[in-house]
Amino acid sequence: MIEPQKLASTSGGTDVSPGEPAAEPDYSAKPSRTLEIAIAVVALVLSVAALVLSRDIVLRMGGGGIDPKWWPTMLSCCGIALSLVLLLQAFLSTSSHRGDLLAIERRGWTRMIVSLTLSAVYVFAWSRFGYVVPTIIFTGALLWVFGLRSWKGLVIFPVAVAIFIYGLFHLLLRVPL
């Protein structure tokens, strides 16, 4: 017979020895071959769409060499190659361990929907109000959605990112933003 003083009761009603830690609940995401295949297929479809769109870029001057189509085409081809690697891995290997990822929960879906909404508003605002102000607001809003609460981080980082990108593309590379 076990002495009652040597047992501890956990919230689940199971008895555990005092020196033995109670088992932690497992909140990690379970391996899913279907999810891996779906992600690979979506990535492949988006990469092929990007390739088709990149080939439709109209050149104002004669082509040849590295033209405005080159970089988007290169990125699309790399995306297709990586998507095919993901697809082959999903079919040929066992499902990868996803213990470092949390299972899907409501808060994650909310953050994703808010992020996509902010992105759509950002694209609209950029075309209406220019680059700088919408970028600062968008970056700050995304940082806040994903948990940053420091006012310094919410102000300094978005301003620094907007200035860096503006300086790089608009001033240095002469790409109109």
Residue 19 and residue 8 in contact, taking contact as beta carbons nearer than 8 Å: no
Residues 50 and 79 in one domain: yes
Instruction: Please tell me which residue, 29 or 48, carries the higher pLDDT value.
Output: 48
What burial letters (b/e) apply to 131-165, b meaning 16+ CB within 10 Å? bbebbbbbbbbbbeeeeeeeeeebeebbeebbeee
| Spatial CB neighbours of 144, under 8 Å, sequence gap ≥ 6 | 154
pLDDT > 90? residue 105: no
Residues 118 and 80 in one domain: no
Query: DSSP letter at 16?
Result: E
Q: Which residues pair with 8 in a beta bridge?
A: 16
Tokens of 173: 């590379």
pLDDT > 80? residue 96: no
Residues 49 and 117 in one domain: no
Residues 112 and 88 in one domain: no
Q: pLDDT, tens digit, for every residue of 123-168? A: 999 999 999 999 999 999 999 999 999 999 999 999 999 999 999 9
The domain total for the chain is 2
pLDDT of 29 reads 65
pLDDT > 90? residue 21: no
pLDDT of 134 reads 97
Residues 87 and 111 in one domain: no
User: What pTM did the predictor assign?
Assistant: 0.59
Residue 19 binned pLDDT confidence (cut-offs 50, 70, 90): low
Instruction: Please tell me which residue, 165 or 31, carries the higher pLDDT value.
Output: 165
Q: Is the dihedral of CA 26, 28, 33, 35 positive or negative?
A: positive
Averaged pLDDT for residues 14-31: 64
Residue 66 to residues 17, 70, 74, 75, 168, Cα–Cα distance (Å): 70, 6, 11, 14, 20
pLDDT of 23 reads 66
What percent of the chain is predicted at pLDDT more than 90? 53
Domain span at residue 131 reads: 106-173
